[in-house]
Amino acid sequence: MKTVLATAIATIALTLALSASGSDLYPDQDDELHLSGGTMTGEIIAPQSNDASTPEFALGDGDTGLYESADDNLIFSVGGAGRFTMQSTRIYSNIGGVGMMNEVTSSSNPTLVLDAVGDQDTGIGKAGADALSLITGAEEAVRLTEASGEVQQTWDACTFTNLGTPSDGTFCYCSDCTIAATCAGSGTGAFAKRLNSVWVCN
């Protein structure tokens, strides 16, 4: 009975290898960690394995867990597929890229983004206490505030001299335009809209 019990214990695939010296611990050639006694003060280090179907730290049937696909690149695997990636600067979905940036948010720097890989300056930020900013291209487009229930929208700024001749549908706040059917300068400000190849200010 003692022999059978000892054999059963020896064949457990994942047990803690404890070192009396407290040095870092590695699995042996059979990828097994063996109980050796002592007090562990070091680390348990698994070999890097860039494989979502067999993550380094797995649960259940073995295809769900965590693995490091590259240095400082942690992948969350579910059902044998990498679902989320965590890096020092961001965590994001591997499908679509929606994620969170590990940065200080502001009215021009979103930290909740729809594409953390290819479009990190478009998403949701914070202008201040109880002030949420919707940001596109690092510019605050809409601000929502709680205290007064206000929705504030900001527009690209322009002046009369630099209105130019863009395509119809262009819109900006002209800081020195005059309110008129056809925009003119030397005013106190108006919204300028490009309609039928003409700037209209109101």
Give the side-chain half-sphere CA count within 13 A for 132: 10
Section 38-54 average pLDDT: 71
CB 124 within 8 A of CB 115: no
pTM (2 decimals)? 0.56
Say how far apart CA 186 and CA 38 lie, in whole Å. Answer: 83
| pLDDT band per the 50, 70, 90 thresholds, residue 8 | very low
CB 161 within 8 A of CB 152: no
- Rounded to a whole number of angstroms, the CA Rg of the chain reads 29
Section 140-169 average pLDDT: 79
Section 113-123 average pLDDT: 93
Section 119-129 average pLDDT: 93
Query: Burial level of 135, CB count in 10 A (0-12/13-18/19+)?
Result: buried
Helix (H, G, I), strand (E, B) or coil at 24: coil
Asked whether the predicted pLDDT for residue 18 surpasses 70, the reply is no
Query: Per-residue pLDDT tens for 56-105?
Result: 888 888 889 998 888 888 999 999 999 999 999 999 999 888 999 999 99
